[in-house]
């Protein structure tokens, strides 16, 4: 199968980026929107064609989905260790192509309406194209180094898009924060890559992931502090993934990233870039599973579970709807990580892996829908805050229905997409780790509660005073909402377990009716609670908030994570370490250099008189020198 046409998928957005980016003063906004949408449309069609080709025509060899790889060696170090550029087509990369192209196309179409009249309209589309290119490159990478390159590229485009409103100080701060935090985590990723290169001897996914390959079989050959070096490498790579996917200690950038335009939040910070960390772990899943009996994988599971719970709790208290959605994203990402962490490898054991990818897929659809719907609401009322909204269902009928669909999907109510994937996750957790299962069920209830809290808060309740009557957005914005709404219902019926499994062999997934019933019941309980609290304007919520008192305050301030980080960086690093280092630099290093400079100037002032410019003085020195040299050569020469 000739797969080289797949190169077009990333390169078309790149070409669009270059075209728009280099000519952004010359291309009219009306034209640039069409260019961006059209370029991505071609990529999307190619992505679907690729998926069709892979899943139904070429991918299956003897009943197993094998990766199809096209490599171009770039830098060669040893026989196995080389940095390549190429395509890696397997089930999850094809699935990611579908996710990225679909969501990106929807966001492009949506942005044509949402960004209308913005000064940087063309620039915005250029950045979106850059991001799409990077994300395609990321999912198609054949080796760790290639993925790292694109990893940083998505980081840069995320930075550019968060700071898109660059006149707003908070946006600049958020962009810097996102960049620095993820960069910090990527440092771990880089070290992990280097460890892999040194100890496993290859960067290539195919070689690393081969269960009979030397990288996996020889994991015990070197150990460091009680763990295999390969495990350390995997954990460091997971640190990089945790940074991008906003897992627990590195989550602080994601809420602030909501300063970017809402379509950006939908594309990057809900559906695609943030799942890169999940994708990375899934990409190296055989390594995580086989090396040291899955120690690294259990860490992944716990980090995912704790992040999921942590974020869901915070999401309840937030009043900025985009921030609620951001914490919800973090919570769902934790879910995916957790599912990966509890997964096995062979046959039906791999249900966690499958569920994680399935949830990634469905979550991308309904979370993008939630963000775009929130964007539509924000567009209508010009505020991010729940207190400025209420009773909007009359004014925004399309947004209302689609938002409701997405909320039901994320709450895990059948037959919406989220139900199917969440159910599989809970099944996987139940079979492997009961503690994580209970966390998962609790989080499912919380999710339903906070989601319907904002749903009721926005579309029901009392009408607020609006500057001008809110109106439904233009067709360019509602059409993507409707498409994504349809997808949020439909994608749950895809038999994912036939296609995406760790070992490539499909299996039959069945609903586990008791577990599904529990999950649905918990979801409905959450919705009912939200109904009671927020359907009508009442004081119940405030009363309960007061009853929780200190705990509520802690949660409202996101457990003071930002403050702790600030304390560590400002007080300890800046004042303690950096100040003394700066002092040393100023006094000792600079001082030495300054003194050398001063002394040189001083000395030259003193001796510049020797260079009198008078020929005769030079002649005197010359003759004297000749005489002295002659004396030396004649009287002191070594015989």
Partner 1 sequence: MIAGISIYEILTLTTLLFFIGVYGFITRKNLISILISVELIMNASVVNFVIINKYLYPDALQGVLFSIFIIAVAAAETALAIAIIISLYRQIGSVEVDETETMKY
Partner 2 sequence: MEKYIFYILAFSMIAFAIAAVNSRKMMRSVIYLLFVLVGIAGIFFLIDYNFLAAIQLTVYGGGVIVLMIFSVLLVHHIELELSLAKTSKRIVAAIVSAIGIGVFLQIIYTYDFPVVENYKTTSTADIGEKLLSYGDGGFVLPFEVISMLLLAAMIGAIVIAKGKKT
Find the shortest distance in angstroms from Cβ 618 to partner 1. 10
Closest CB to partner 2 among residues 225, 634: 634
Q: Is 632 in the site for partner 2 (CB under 8 A)?
A: no
| Cα–Cα nearest to 131, from 320, 234, 257 | 257
Task: Name residues whose C-beta falls within 8 Å of residue 163's C-beta, 6 or more positions apart in sequence.
Answer: 171, 172, 174, 175, 176, 259, 260
Give yes or no for residue 588 binding partner 2 (CB under 8 A): no
Cis preceding-peptide flag for 178 (omega within 30 of 0) = no
612 binds, among partner 1, partner 2, none (CB under 5 to 8 A by kind): partner 1
634 binds, among partner 1, partner 2, none (CB under 5 to 8 A by kind): partner 2
Strand, coil or helix: 462: coil
> Is 620 a binder of partner 2 (CB under 8 A)?
yes
Candidate ranges 14-22, 439-447, 539-547, 618-626; the one touching partner 2 (CB under 8 A): 618-626
Counting contacts by CB under 8 A, is residue 589 touching partner 2?
Answer: no
Nearest distance in Å: CB 611, partner 1? 6
Long-range contacts, stretch 165-170, CB < 8 angstroms, 24+ apart: 165/259, 165/260, 165/261, 168/259, 170/256, 170/259
Which one, of 462, 450, 449, lies nearest residue 529 by Cα? Answer: 449
- Tokens representing 334? 């934790």
Residue 579 sits at the vertex; the CA angle it makes with 574 and 580, to the nearest 5 degrees, is 130
CA distance 376 to 38: 23
Q: Which of 370, 551, 627, 637 forms a contact with partner 2 (CB under 8 A)?
A: 627
Q: Which is nearer to partner 2, 45 or 626 (CB)?
A: 626
Task: Find the binder of partner 2 among 73, 180, 564, 623 (CB under 8 A).
Answer: 623
Strand partners, 320: 385
Q: Which two tokens stand for residue 528?
A: 């009912």
- Identity of the residue, 435 or 627, whose beta carbon is nearer to partner 2 in the bound complex: 627
Instruction: Say which entry of partner 1, partner 2, none residue 608 contacts (CB below 5 to 8 A, set by partner kind).
Output: partner 1
Q: Are 362 and 492 in contact (CB under 8 A)?
A: yes
Q: Which of 550, 615, 634, 638 binds partner 2 (CB under 8 A)?
A: 634
CB of 626 to partner 2, least distance (A): 8
Q: How far is the CB of 632 from partner 2 (least distance, A)?
A: 11
Strands 223-224 and 60-61: unpaired
Residue 41's H or E segment, with its range, is helix 29-52
State the minimum distance, in angstroms, from the CB of residue 605 to partner 2.
23
Could you say which DSSP state residue 581 is in? H
Q: For residue 453, how many other CB atoms are within 10 A of its CB?
A: 26
Q: Which is nearer to partner 2, 550 or 634 (CB)?
A: 634
The footprint of partner 2 on this chain (CB under 8 A) covers a number of residues equal to 8
Compute the least distance from the CB of residue 634 to partner 2, in Å. Answer: 6
Whole-number minimum distance, CB 611 to partner 2, in Å?
Answer: 16
In the complex, which residues of this chain contact partner 1 (CB under 8 A)?
608, 611-616, 619-620, 623
Nearer to partner 2, 217 or 620 (CB): 620
Helix (H, G, I), strand (E, B) or coil at 383: coil
Residue 596: CB minimum distance to partner 1, A: 22
Q: What residue ranges bind partner 2 (CB under 8 A)? A: 620, 623-624, 626-627, 630-631, 634
């Amino acid at each position: 199968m000739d797969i080289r046409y797949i190169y077009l998928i990333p390169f078309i957005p790149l070409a669009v980026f270059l075209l728009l980016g280099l000519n952004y003063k010359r291309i009219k906004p009306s034209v640039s929107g069409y260019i961006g949408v059209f370029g991505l449309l071609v990529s999307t069609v190619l992505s679907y064609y690729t998926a069709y080709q892979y899943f139904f025509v070429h991918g299956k060899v003897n009943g197993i989905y094998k990766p199809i790889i096209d490599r171009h060696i770039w830098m060669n170090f040893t026989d196995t260790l080389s940095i390549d550029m190429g395509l890696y087509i397997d089930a999850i990369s094809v699935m990611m192509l579908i996710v990225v192209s679909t969501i990106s196309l929807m966001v492009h179409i949506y942005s044509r309406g949402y960004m209308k009249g913005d000064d940087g309209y063309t620039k915005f589309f250029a950045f979106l194209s850059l991001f799409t290119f990077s994300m395609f490159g990321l999912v198609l990478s054949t080796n760790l180094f290639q993925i790292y390159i694109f990893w940083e590229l998505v980081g840069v485009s995320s930075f550019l898009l968060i700071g898109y409103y660059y006149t707003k100080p908070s946006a600049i701060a958020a962009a810097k924060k996102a960049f620095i935090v993820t960069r910090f985590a990527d440092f771990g990723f880089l070290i992990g890559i280097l460890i892999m290169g040194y100890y496993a001897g290859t960067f290539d996914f195919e070689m690393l992931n081969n269960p009979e390959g030397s990288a996996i079989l020889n994991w015990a050959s070197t150990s460091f502090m009680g763990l295999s070096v390969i495990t350390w490498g995997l954990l460091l790579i997971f640190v990089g993934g945790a940074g991008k996917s906003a897992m627990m200690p590195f989550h602080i950038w994601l809420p602030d990233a909501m300063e970017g335009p809402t379509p950006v939040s939908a594309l990057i910070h809900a559906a695609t870039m943030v799942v890169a960390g999940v994708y990375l772990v899934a990409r190296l899943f055989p390594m995580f599973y086989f090396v040291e009996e899955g120690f690294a994988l259990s860490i992944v599971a716990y980090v995912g579970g704790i992040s999921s719970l942590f974020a869901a709790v915070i999401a309840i208290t937030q009043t900025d709807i985009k921030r609620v959605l951001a914490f919800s994203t973090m919570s769902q990402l934790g879910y995916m990580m957790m599912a990966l962490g509890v997964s096995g490898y062979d046959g039906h054991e791999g249900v966690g892996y499958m569920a994680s990818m399935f949830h990634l897929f469905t979550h991308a659809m309904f979370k993008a829908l939630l963000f775009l719907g929130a964007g539509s609401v924000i567009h209508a009322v010009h505020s991010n805050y729940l207190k400025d909204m209420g009773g909007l269902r009359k004014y925004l009928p399309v947004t209302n229905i689609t938002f409701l669909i997405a909320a039901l999907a994320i709450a895990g109510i059948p037959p919406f997409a989220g139900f199917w994937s969440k159910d599989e996750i809970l099944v996987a957790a139940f079979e492997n780790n009961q503690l994580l299962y209970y966390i998962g069920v609790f989080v499912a209830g919380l999710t339903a509660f906070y989601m319907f809290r904002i749903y009721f808060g926005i579309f029901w309740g009392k009408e607020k005073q609006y500057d001008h009557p809110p109106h439904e957005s233009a067709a360019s914005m509602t059409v993507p909402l409707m498409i994504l709404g349809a997808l949020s219902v439909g994608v749950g019926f895809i038999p994912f377990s036939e296609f995406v499994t760790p070992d490539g062999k499909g299996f039959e997934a069945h609903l586990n009716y008791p577990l599904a019933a529990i999950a649905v019941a918990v979801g409905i309980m959450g919705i009912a609670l939200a109904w009671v609290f927020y359907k009508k304007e009442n004081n119940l919520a405030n009363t309960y908030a007061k009853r929780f008192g200190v705990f509520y305050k802690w949660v409202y301030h996101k457990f003071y994570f930002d403050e702790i980080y600030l304390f560590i960086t400002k007080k300890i690093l800046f004042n303690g370490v950096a100040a003394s280092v700066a002092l040393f630099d100023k006094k000792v290093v600079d001082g030495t250099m300054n003194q050398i400079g001063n002394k040189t100037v001083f000395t030259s002032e003193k001796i510049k008189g020797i260079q009198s410019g008078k020929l005769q003085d030079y002649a005197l020195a010359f003759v004297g020198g000749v005489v002295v040299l002659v004396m030396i050569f004649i009287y002191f020469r070594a015989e």
